[in-house]
Chain A
Amino acid sequence: MTPVATPFFFYLLAATMLIGGILVITCKNAVHSALALIVTLLAQANIYLMLYAPFVAGVQIILYAGGIMVLFLFVIMLVNIDRAMKERQFNSQWWVGIIAATALGGLFIAVYTKGKSIFPERIPSIAEGENTQRVATLLYGQYMFAFEIASLLLLVAIIGAVVMAKKRI
């Protein structure tokens, strides 16, 4: 018997993500877009859980849904979106964008149909219990330097954001 739960949840979450994604790029109101994006992100966190990456799922919820999206909503409230809603929503060159995206999509399809064979049919299941510990070991061991650089990047970003957003420094 093939397990039903995995495909069911996969398709449910995938559908949520895709609908959310479509709403993000089509909604007139930026707040609605942001809400759709939040739904997408939460669904994606669940997909991470299905992929045995609980730590990344937690980080996704805290950082993306709880942090970045609040920042987005905050900024949307600060800027006047009423006028932006009344204006034209799409570029005049929107068809160029669609063609480019279609071409990219064609490329993806080509790659995936050609390279389908390299993906293994069955994936060995791994122990979930040690995930966080193993991530920590890697993050503070092998990737120590990258981790420090990431913190530097965040510092630069904080300073940059403050410099940009402040009226008078």
Chain B
Amino acid sequence: MHDLIQYVQSYLDPNVKVTPGAAGNMFWAFVYIMLVFLGLSVAVIAMNWLERKILAHMQVRLGPMRVGPHGLLQPIADALKLLLKEDLIPAGADSFVFWFAPFIVVLAAFCVFVVVPFGPQHAITDMNIGILFMLGVSSLSVLGVVMAGWASNSHYPLIGALRSSAQMVSYEIAMGLAVISAILMTSLNATGTGTLSMIGIVEAQKAQGEWFIFKFFPLGLIAFFIFAVAMVAETNRAPFDLAEAESELTAGFHTEYSGFRWSLFFLGEYTAMIAVSSIAVTLWLGGWLRPFPNLLNSPTWDTLFSYVPGATFLFLAAICFYNVARMPKHPYFRIQTMGLGAFGAALALIGLILFIPVVSVRVQDIFWFTAKVAGFQYLYIWYRGTFPRYRFDQLMHLGWKVLLPLGLGVLILTAGVGLLQIKS
């Protein structure tokens, strides 16, 4: 018990500057794992709701409105429905592989978050090979897709699996080249050695005083663009959602899946989206750093920016309260109105807590990271509302004949420009 208290205290000490994993602090590592898991689950649920709502509003419709105020409880209702459904395994399917495939997808997606740095000490662990680990583990999800497609013993899933495996493997290369050019940028310091550690990469951006997206303009921007395209392809989302193109392959590799196992694929897909967005944010958008860390670096600005998290939550709460006022005054809507009010109150409470200086100092890096990732999630939804779907050969053409040469060029140019900078 005493050890436990010491563990807790050891972390709450504001002087702690390492991640629990790197410090070997098992207790806090475990707490962090739980927190990340919980946070991701909530994020996936929120993402589900937001995607439907945003997409609906882009398409002149309302989206879910019935379950809960403005459909807030819809994802939960859906999750319940999926969990209660019968778990079908088709006749002729390879039952073990069929059973196991969704877990690989989910595991691969979740494992990535072991090294994602939400803040200088807010990460489960800091690995020396962080980015390598992330790319490697996220590439494992293709195995789950391939296994699911093969094990279903059906033509559409098989074609979907072949498509998506070819697609994911191809785009990994362009992705890797873009990542390497960002890693090269980390080595532009006095010692000339870069780092693969996720925290190290953000620290390098902090030390160099600019996010890598603006570094060697436009090289960093192009590398970021390559990654941003490749990550959409990597997660099988529109406009690269060929593996699950419903107009061609009904549902692609998960055609035969239903209920719980299907929801695992869903969970895996959304977690993978968040995961690759985290990589992009860490590598190019300065990770947990707040905007303009070196332009507006006076303490006044620091304080001002530390109010942003709380203000954001208060703003969301204000939207909720505004909608409470707009709710129809009819007994039928009473529960919904109350629910929305309670939701707004919870948001306001969180916002107020975030105004406490101790908390805001500790938490604002997480906020900035999450906000940047959320921006990417919005982009994902936006793409889905805007773009038609690519055809398979066009996708391959884009991956191998456009992004790959572009990535190689950017890599060589980055190396050259970096070398010149070190020389001078």
Contacts and interface: CB of A to CB of B under 8 A. Distances in A.
Task: Decide if A and B touch, CB cutoff 8 A.
Answer: yes
Interface of A: 29, 31-32, 35, 38, 54-55, 57-59, 61-62, 65-67, 69-70, 73-74, 76-77, 128-129, 131-133
Contact of B139 (A55, A66, A73): A66
Contacts of A70: 142-143, 146, 165, 169
Given A29-B94, A77-B161, A133-B193, A66 B129 contact: no
A58 B237 CA distance: 26
Contacts of A61: 133, 136-137, 139-140
A81 to B, nearest CB: 10
Contacts of A38: 143
Interface string B121-154: 0000001110011011101101100110111000
Given A73-B146, A73-B147, A77-B162, A65 B140 contact: yes
B187 to A, nearest CB: 10
A69 B161 contact: no
A37 to B, nearest CB: 11
B97 interface: yes
Given A35-B100, A73-B146, 15 more contacts: A35-B97, A54-B127, A55-B128, A55-B132, A58-B136, A61-B133, A61-B140, A65-B139, A65-B143, A66-B142, A70-B169, A77-B149, A77-B161, A129-B128, A131-B129
A54 B128 contact: yes
A74 B165 contact: yes
Interface string B224-247: 000000000000000000000000
B172 interface: yes
Contacts of A129: 128
Contact of A66 (B96, B128, B140, B195): B140
B279 to A, nearest CB: 14
Contacts of A76: 150
Nearest to A60: B136
A69 B68 CA distance: 46
Interface in B261-319: none
A74 B162 contact: yes
Interface residues on B, range: 20 to 34
B97 A55 contact: no
A31 B150 contact: yes
**Main SS of chain A's interface residues?**
helix
B196 interface: yes
25 contacts: A31-B94, A31-B147, A31-B151, A35-B97, A35-B100, A54-B127, A54-B128, A54-B129, A55-B128, A58-B132, A61-B139, A66-B143, A67-B139, A67-B169, A69-B143, A73-B143, A73-B146, A73-B147, A73-B150, A73-B165, A74-B146, A74-B165, A74-B166, A128-B128, A129-B128
B47 interface: no
Contacts, number: 77
Given A73-B147, A73-B165, A77-B161, A62 B94 contact: no
Contact of B158 (A55, A58, A77, A131): A77
Interface of B: 94, 96-97, 100, 127-129, 132-133, 135-137, 139-140, 142-143, 146-147, 149-151, 158, 161-162, 165-166, 169, 172, 193, 195-196
Which 5 A-B residue pairs are closest in the complex by CB-CB distance?
A66-B139, A58-B132, A61-B136, A62-B136, A58-B129
Contacts of B140: 61, 65-66
B335 to A, nearest CB: 49
Contacts of B149: 77
B150 A66 contact: no
A108 B150 CA distance: 40
Contact of B129 (A31, A55, A73, A74): A55
A58 B196 CA distance: 11
B129 A77 contact: no
A121 to B, nearest CB: 25
Contacts of B169: 66-67, 70
Contacts of A66: 136, 139-140, 142-143, 169, 172
A4 to B, nearest CB: 14
A155 to B, nearest CB: 14
Contact of B128 (A31, A74, A77, A131): A131
Contacts of B146: 70, 73-74, 77
Nearest to B172: A66
B120 to A, nearest CB: 17
A29 B97 CA distance: 11
A9 to B, nearest CB: 14
Contacts of B97: 31-32, 35
Contacts of B137: 61
Nearest to B162: A77
B245 to A, nearest CB: 19
A55 B127 CA distance: 10
B199 to A, nearest CB: 12
Contacts of A32: 96-97
A88 B415 CA distance: 55
A151 to B, nearest CB: 13
A40 to B, nearest CB: 14
Contacts of A133: 193
